[in-house]
A = this chain, B = another copy of it.
Amino acid sequence: MKQSRRTFFKTGLAGSLLLATKGLHASTAPEVPELPKAAAENPFHLSCAGYTFAHIEGDKLETTLKTLQRMDIHYLCIKDFVLPLDADDAKIRVFHQKCAEYGVKGYGVGPIYMKTEAEVDRAFEYTRRVGVKVLVGVPNYEILPYVDKRIRDYPDIKYAIHLHGPDLPIFQDASVIWDKVKDLHPNIGMCLDIGHDLRNGADPVADLKKYHTRVFDMHIKDETDSSKAGRCIELGRGKIDFSAFVRMMRKVNYTGMCSLEYEKDMKDPYMGIAESYGYLKAVCKLA
């Protein structure tokens, strides 16, 4: 494990020196690194929500990976536009190899919308075949009992319901999710999107404190306003108190991922992504 982690970060460092290259092409099958133990100070890891790259031009996967390599970020929540839900095992293997060339590991999948039992089945099987332990889901309310049934067949998978803020009529914020899942299997919880939580008038710091036992993933962003009018903005320029949020992650010992989901300038998000990670890295050190 120790050796594996060292090799991984060595790869990451070497890679970061190669500006806009095609990454390190290992001649043997690339090593897919284990998730490292937490950094000394923080129990959580910085990561990226794949949706950030939904509207960029060109090869979405390659650009995602080059960007994360340059940002020194090593964990990705996989959106289906880089790995389709019907990808077979060979395609999944190639996908993981490509990620590893850039020092990146897919840690979860989603968000995946599911309205039918068949879609729930497909999402769980996809998650299992991809080999990750976090499934970010967007289920309809009426399908939740079926999710609650099927989760028992996948004891390693956490089902993290995404919250949408005031734009959709379901799962608007963390407390809505909590009320819907608190009596279901403990592996059904939430992907705490702190921007949408704030836009619904909630307090992401207080919600993390209240609901942390069911927070399995996070979407990190900042917002111009704590209302429906709020728009995504570079971290530190908006209304979210990231210092308080990072301190709360430590306090509740959140050991999961903090995935930046940057939704501004989506055709040219690179500088906003970089400013946001820079800001977040400093907060993680100083908060």
Give residues in A with beta carbon < 8 Å to B: 19-20, 67, 70-72, 234-237, 242-243, 265, 268, 270-283, 285-287
Q: Are B278 and A286 in contact (CB under 8 A)?
A: no
Task: Report the Cα distance A142→B123, complex, angstroms.
Answer: 74
- Which of B20, B71, B242, B282 is A268 in contact with, Cβ under 8 Å? B20
Q: In angstroms, how far is the closest chain B Cβ from the Cβ of A229?
A: 14
Q: Which residues of B contact A275 (CB under 8 A)?
A: 71, 274-275, 277-278
Residues of chain B with a CB closer than 8 A to A72's CB: 237
A236–B271 touching, CB < 8 Å: no
Which are the 6 A-B pairs with shortest beta-carbon distances?
A278-B278, A282-B282, A275-B278, A274-B274, A278-B279, A271-B274
Q: Is the CB of B279 within 8 A of A243?
A: no
- Which one of B243, B271, B277 contacts A70 once the chains associate, using CB atoms below 8 Å? B271
Q: A71-B271, A72-B237, A275-B278 are in contact. List 17 more A-B contacts (CB 8 A).
A: A19-B265, A19-B268, A235-B278, A236-B281, A243-B286, A270-B270, A270-B274, A271-B274, A273-B274, A274-B274, A274-B275, A277-B278, A278-B282, A282-B282, A283-B286, A286-B286, A286-B287
Could you tell me the distance in whole angstroms from the C-beta of A45 to the nearest C-beta in chain B? 17
**B residues less than 8 Å from A70 (CB atoms):** 271
Q: In whole Å, how far is A188's beta carbon from the nearest beta carbon of chain B?
A: 34
Some 6 contacts from A to B, beta carbons below 8 A apart, are: A19-B268, A236-B285, A278-B278, A278-B279, A278-B282, A279-B281
